[in-house]
Each structure stands twice: as structure tokens, then as C-alpha cells.
Chain A
């Protein structure tokens, strides 16, 4: 009897996973379809454009490693958004937190001199601390002053942007003409995983470790349980003695640390310094990454690869199909729009299943 109950439960869980996957695939296909119409409406050939996008992302072995590399920052910002989301906090400030993390890594990497075994971990930790510090302000403003997290995190994005710009052009401008910081020490650079010309560094492994860590935090600790409880139903959580505000506060701090790590890996892994305006929306890309994965850490690996592929293929799409790189923003927006049809799809699936049972 008990065994039977277990099996039905598993089947239910499997059905639920299948449905979630179906919703994501439908949203992706619908977005690509409408995206094709947009490309066509602006006078380009959609098949050519998507072909170039694919070719640019997966066409060669080197291109594939670039795609993997581009997936790293969005995987981390995706995790950042997902952790906060699980606790009902909408962190759209990952962009600013990433910038501050990158800045901290660039400074510690260039101005602290230590052997690699200490320098590299210190640089990475500094980026996480800076990202966390940047999310601390919105978090404390929410907790103490009831200021909307959406508005304050966005404002701190702009403040971070100007602050980093000031630091790059002013006190920490590196040698040479270009607006950039000094190159970080070799002891602070992430080692490559593959020989040249492939471009893949240890950052990819760190990102996977962050995925595992986030999973453990959310699903295997009591703190994670509390956070998810707040996200599912804040009133129920409160009645059961969970400190809702404290959990939201912590979720935002963890989210900031993950976004900061994304910046730190960009600097220690590929850029080795900060150039002005380097981030190009990695923070905002974390939102579709998290949403497509339904905030599941392991699913984020795949959705991040998808967005990473779009980012790495977009240049070729622009050069050979003549449609602007910005097209991938349109596609991401459309993906989110169609993901929002989740309730509609669930409604019809459930009603059909229900109808069958009655018949």
C-alpha cells in the first residue's frame, strides 16, 4: 500500500517535470517563430539569420567553447535572480552587483600581490563580497524602510555604473590610452581548461560548482527551506514562525554575492581588467535564464547555455544576415512573454485530464 502510494507520487512528480519542460519548449519555439516574423518584417531573411546565429554559436569547436564561456556569467546571474525569486524577491540589480564584483576583482587582482594559491581565491572572494555589499543597500532599505526592491536595485545599477566609470577613468586608470584598469597579476588569473585556440577557463567549473551550491542551499538546508516557504506563501510561512523579512534580506544578499561572482569570473577568467561598459547586460540576461529554468538551479545550466549561445552567435548573425545583434534581446523578451502563458497551458492540461477522469 505504502509502496503504491510512493509510485503514484513519483509519477505525479514526473508529470509535473514533463509539463514544466513542455511549457519552456513551447515558449522557446513560439518566441523563435514570432522572432522570425520580426526579422522578416525588418527586411531580413529569418532562416539565414537563425542559421548564422547557430553557426556562430556552434559552428566550430572554438565557437562552442566561446558559447560555453559566454554561458558562465549568465549562469551566475541567472542563479542570482533565481535564489531571490525563490524567496519572492525580484532582484533586477544583478547588473550593478556584477559590476561591483568585477571592480573589486580588478582591484584586488592588480594591487594585491600574493602567491596564486592565495591570490586567486582572495580575488574571487572579493568579487562576491562586493556584489553582496552592493545588494546590502537595497536589502536593508527594504527591511527597514519598506522601499521597493525593484526600484532600489535598478537605481543602484545606475549608481554602480557611474561609480565604476569614475574609478576606471579616474583613480584606478591603468597605463595606456584606453579607459581601463591595470591588468591583473598572473597569480589572479583563472587557468585555462583547454589549450589554445580553445577558450575555456576554470570559471566554467566554478559556475557549475555555484549551481550545485545553490541547489544544496535551497533544497538541503533549513535556511533554504524557509526561503522557499516564504516564496510559496509568505503569510503561511509567517504563521509558522518563519521570519519573512529576514529571509528576504538574506536571499537578496546571496543573490548579490552570486552576481558579484559573475563579475569576478569575467575579470579573472577572460578580461583580466575592466574596460568601460564591458558588461553589456549580463545582469539583465539572468532574468530570462532564471525564468526559463523555472528557478531550478540545474535547469539553469541549460538555459544559460541557450542564452550564451545567442550571445556568442549574435555577432555572426549581424555580419552575415544584416539584422542587428539586438535581435537576441527581442527573442529573450518574447521568451519571457510566452513563458507567462504558463497558467493558460496548465489550465487546459489540467481540465483535459480532469475531463478524462470523469468520463
Chain B
């Protein structure tokens, strides 16, 4: 029993952490007024970037740095298209997904001359310094450093929105860009910050997948987690703790799937593998609020190129 709980808890952290990173980024972007359906793409490209960095320097921390840079680069494309050009945000997001899957496939062949997956690279599966702690040390040290880094990001994001002027301004440009501009704020700069922040967070989320819980990149390894993150943002009602909780909730269903597979329940694997996706749909249907419109200004471009309604 204790083993089961420990397994599920540990697997929930492992599966939920990448979703949580990405969801925190998605939340920040949406609060500033730019929807980012392309989180999946950011995760894919940075999962690949992490492997490249880790491979080139034979150091997993350099992998994290690479992943963040790639995440920022991909989200910069989204910023340019959605904020400066006033393009449709959902459409641009799909471009990110195509670009990212494409680039990682091309990169796999060009850099490693491999198809489908990369060679094994240095990874960060455990946090050994925590081993010394009595009772829980064993459990804590078995978690990836990404899990602890998430704690920092969580606090930083919470602090940003709760206690800083920047956070308040982000919320303002998201809710009412025209009023914000009248008050002298730069809508574009603030929105760029929001979207690039989602690049940093999505980068960490992607890196966790390839060099946190594994030690290589595989095509299709993100497997919809970017969209689960998107669901977590909605379900968490754009609130840091709510979003974190929702991400872990989705992580739990992935953990449950792994657990059921490991104890070999007599259900076909394919149905067990459906669990996270089905659960997301069911949970969103159960929690969706018919009246709530979310962030007032989200999804609408604010540039001179598009007539404001």
C-alpha cells in the first residue's frame, strides 16, 4: 500500500511537472492577452534543444539552457506574428507546432543522422544531495531536480502576479489593452514579456521530458502534453495555484495510466493509454463555466494593422 502511494506520488510529480511548467507559461501569456495553443510546439522544440545542448557539452544543465533558448526563440515567432503583425493567434500556434516537429525531425537527421530518436545524452534523473535527509530523503532524492526547480518557478510566478507592478500591468494589458495604453503602458512590450515567459517555461517543460524523465529525444514524445497544459490553464482559472493544481491533476491521470500498466490489469493497454486524454475532456466538461469568458482581451490583436472593434 505504501509502495503504491509512493509510486503514484512520484509518478504524478514526474508526469505533472512538465505540464505544470508549461501551464504556468501559458497562463502568463494568456493573462497578458495572447493565447498560445502552440505550447505543444514549444515543448517539442525545446525537448529536442535540451538533448542537443546536453549532447554538445556532455552536461545536462547546458541542455536546460539550450531548451530555454529554443523555447524563447519559438515563442518569439509567436510574439512577432500575434503581437506585432496582429495575426490570428490560434493559426500562429499551429505554425509553431508544425515548425517545431519539423525542425526537430530535420535536426535529428542532420546532427545525429538518426530517425525517430536521438542517442542517449547526460540527464538529470535524481537529486542526490537530498539523500541525507532522514525518513523522506530516499523519496526526495529520487525526484529530478526539475521538480524542485518547478517550486522556484511556481513561487516566482505567484510573486510576479501577486506582488509586483509588472504583474499588475500584465493583467491590465490582458484585460483592457486600450485603457492600459491610455495609462501610458506599452501593450506590445508587456505582451512580448508574457509570451516569451511562456517560452522559458515551455522550454523547461520540454527539457524535463527529454533530459529529466528520460535521457533522449523521441519523435512524438510530447504526446499532447502542451494541450493538457492549455487545459490546465483553463481549469485553473488563470490562477497560479489553480493552474499548478490542475496540471498535477492531469499528471495524476498519466501516473495512474503508468501504474495500471505496471500491475498488468486485464484491460487492453490502448484503453489505459487513453486515460489522460479522456480524463481531460471529462474534467474540462465538468468544470467549464458557461458564463466565464476568461481574459477579456485574450485572443484579440492590438496593433495598428488591425482595426479595433
Contacts and interface: CB of A to CB of B under 8 A. Distances in A.
Interface stretch (A143-151, A185-193, A207-215): A143-151
A347 B305 contact: yes
A337 B95 contact: yes
A145 B288 contact: yes
Interface residues of B, number: 55
Contacts of A163: 270, 274
Contacts of B108: 324
B92 A347 contact: no
Interface string A321-335: 011111111111110
Instruction: Give the size category of A's interface with B.
Output: 35 or more
A162 interface: yes
B145 interface: no
A323 B268 contact: no
Q: Main secondary structure on chain A at its contact with chain B?
A: helix
Interface in A113-163: 137, 141, 145-148, 150-152, 154-159, 162-163
B95 A329 contact: no
Interface in B107-125: 107-111, 115
Interface string A266-292: 000000000000000000100110010
Given A332-B98, A336-B98, A155 B85 contact: no
A158 B303 CA distance: 36
Nearest to B87: A340
A333 B110 contact: no
Contacts of A339: 87, 91
Interface stretch (B4-12, B58-66, B278-286): B278-286
A159 B274 CA distance: 6
B105 interface: yes
Contacts of A148: 230-231, 234, 284
Contacts of A357: none
Interface of A: 38, 42-44, 90, 92, 137, 141, 145-148, 150-152, 154-159, 162-163, 165-166, 169-170, 284, 287-288, 291, 318, 322-334, 336-337, 339-344, 346-347
19 contacts: A90-B90, A145-B288, A151-B284, A159-B278, A324-B109, A326-B104, A333-B95, A333-B99, A336-B94, A337-B77, A339-B87, A340-B88, A342-B87, A343-B85, A343-B303, A343-B306, A344-B85, A344-B86, A344-B305
Given A92-B94, A162-B270, A329-B98, 7 more contacts: A42-B110, A148-B230, A150-B230, A151-B280, A330-B98, A340-B81, A347-B305
